Amino acid sequence: MLYKQDWDKVRQRYVAWLAGQNDTPLVQIKSPRGAQTHGWTGWNFVHDMQHPERTFEAFERYCQQTYFAGDALPSLFVNLGPGIPAAYLGCQVDIKPDTVWFEDAGMSWEQILATRLDAGETWWKYTLDIYRMAGPFARDKYLVGSTDINAVMNILGSLRGTLKLLVDVIEEPEQVKGADEHIQGIWRQCYDRIYAMTQSFQQGISNWMNIWGPGRFCDVQCDFSAMISPRMFEEFVLPHLVEECRSLDWSIYHWDGPGQIPHLDLLLEIPELTGIQWVPGAGKPGTGSPQWFDLYKRIQARGKRLVLQGMDKADVQQVVETFDPRGLLIEARGCQTPEEADDLVRCVQRWANR
């Protein structure tokens, strides 16, 4: 791979990590390589929809000007906003400088159950066009990941309205479950189509976490769950999470913020779930903080992979020396040169072998 010359070795490390057989943690570190003039923001696809080829060109310039140390990957995230299937099904899209919002559509249950993927719908068509274009740009140079198809209940919240859905789980539970099942089918169709398209020019697939899997790999998630009890999580969220995990070879749950901590035991009971990515949430101590160490121990004790990203480089040593390297992935930030990044990779290997 042009922008990851040791890809053959790194690919085997990801395979071993997913199997829980790695002997040192996976460590993702990126640093600038010279002047940063690439123009890549992560949001180019939504800000320049008339010329997606310019986004591919900007990403390649980013790869040229970035050093991918350790297990860091040159991986293009097709970023159209978190939960883009809501737009495929009728939500209006509000594009901001550094995010995308999907406006509550206020649909009835009948309207939700009538939704379908339509090849002529603007955002679904744009998504497929991007993946059709991706091969010639990316083949043998960098990876292309899935867009953020997100979570069944998050998508349903956009279609129905999140506040309304919070009432619905109490007053109309059977309607919610029927809509869940319908959206689950659409989620699966989105993933299947995107995965199949990427396999024409690469093996396996990555995602917005910049993690790669050798087969059907994807994150699973449910931010809506931060607003409901474990009992409701078990009733309304767990069934479709289990189905998603069963449809995949490898899956990482995006465990986002303290509001989701009460659901950990239920997540750990999913046999098919490969691992958990912990995101502490805004204003909370980072992933390297000892505040979260008891949670990490619970995750590793159940044999799940542990993904800790956005970690300050100063916190890496304590984490590596505290936890089992098997199944541990750390993304460290703060290295300003390739030499500094390589040095931290070597330190991680040394700390893990003490």
Residue type present at position 142: Y
Q: What is the pLDDT of residue 353?
A: 87
Q: What angle do CA 98, 102, 106 make, to 5 degrees?
A: 160
Q: Give 318: exposed, middle or buried? Use CB within 10 Å, 0-12, 13-18, 19+.
A: middle
Query: 207, 197 in Cβ contact below 8 A?
Result: no
- Tokens for 208, please give them: 């917005």
| pLDDT computed for residue 45 by the predictor | 98
2 domain residue, yes or no: no
Q: What is the pLDDT of residue 304?
A: 98
Cα 69 to chain center, whole Å? Answer: 20
Helix (H, G, I), strand (E, B) or coil at 275: strand
CA dist 86 and 83 (Å) reads 6
The 10s digit of each residue's pLDDT in 92-103 is: 999 999 999 999
Distance from C-alpha of 328 to C-alpha of 252, rounded to nearest angstrom: 12
Tell whether 77 is covered by a domain: yes
CA distance 282 to 79: 21
Spatial separation of the C-alpha atoms in residues 319 and 351, rounded to whole Å: 10
Sheet strands (E) in 192-274: 205-206, 212-213, 217-221, 250-256
User: What's the confidence (pLDDT) of residue 50?
Assistant: 97
Q: Token pair of 74, please? A: 């040159």
Q: How many domains does the chain have?
A: 1
Please say whether the beta carbons of 217 and 211 come within 8 A: yes
User: What pLDDT is attached to residue 273?
Assistant: 98
Strand 250-256 with 275-279, pairing: parallel
- CATH number of the domain enclosing 48: 3.20.20.210
Q: Range of 201's domain?
A: 7-352
Pairing between β-strand 26-32 and β-strand 328-333 as defined by DSSP bridges: parallel
Task: Tell me the CA distances in angstroms from 32 to 59, 232, 329, 341, one per residue in order.
Answer: 14, 45, 21, 10
C-alpha 333: how far from its chain's center?
18
Query: Cα dist. 214→101, 195, 327 in Å?
Result: 31, 12, 16
pLDDT at position 29 is 98
Residue 136 lies in a domain: yes
Residue 288 pLDDT: 98
Residue 304 in any domain: the answer is yes
Indicate the angle between helix axes 173-198 and 122-138, nearest 10 degrees. 30
CA 331 to CA 6: how far, in whole Å? 18
Rounded to 5°, angle at Cα 56 from 214 and 102: 85
Q: What is the pLDDT of residue 354?
A: 75
Give the pLDDT confidence of 94-152 residue by residue, as tens digits: 999 999 999 999 999 999 999 999 999 999 999 999 999 999 999 999 999 999 999 99
- DSSP annotation of 235 reads I
**What's the confidence (pLDDT) of residue 89?**
98
- 233 lies in some domain: yes
Q: Going by C-beta distance under 8 Å and a sequence separation of 6 or more, which residues neighbour residue 115?
A: 89, 90, 107, 159, 182, 186
User: Checking phi first, is residue 135 left (phi over 0); if not, alpha (psi -120 to 50) or beta?
Assistant: alpha
Side-chain-side CA neighbours of residue 173 (13 Å)? 8
In the predicted model, residues of the chain with pLDDT beneath 70 are none
Q: CA torsion sign, 344 to 299 to 8 to 250?
A: negative
Residue 198 is predicted with a pLDDT of: 98
Q: Answer whether residue 332 is part of any domain.
A: yes
